Amino acid sequence: MNSPQPTPASTTNVAPTIGSMVGGVAGLVATSKLGLDPTAPAGGALVVAVSGVVTAIFHWLGKLTGIPGLG
């Protein structure tokens, strides 16, 4: 079986982006406002959906403005 080539340590993004942190918090807030349990399947799906959308918006803003680590 072929093993994937390891990624050089200098190019690995090890810190979470601002968009993912804000998105995760926004997902948890939205879930709690709707009275759902974030560890249940429906609540977890909502957290992931909101987090993904917010992260995508921050990523788009980072590409638009050229600010690294924004999204």
Per-residue pLDDT tens over the stretch 41-64: 999 999 999 999 999 999 899 889
Query: Which residue intervals of 2-66 are DSSP H helices?
Result: 18-33, 41-65
Residue 43: CB atoms within 10 A of its CB come to 19
pLDDT mean over 17-24: 90
> Would you say residue 1 has pLDDT above 60?
no
> Would you say residue 9 has pLDDT above 70?
no
Q: Which of 22, 4, 21, 18 is nearest to 68 (CA)?
A: 18
Specify the pLDDT at position 26.
95
Comparing 47 with 2, the larger pLDDT belongs to 47
DSSP class of 40: S
Specify the pLDDT at position 49.
95
Q: Could you state, in order of their start, the residue ranges of all structural domains in the chain?
A: 15-32+44-71
Q: How far is CA 2 from CA 5, 52, in A?
A: 9, 32
Q: Is 66 left (phi over 0), alpha (psi -120 to 50) or beta?
A: left
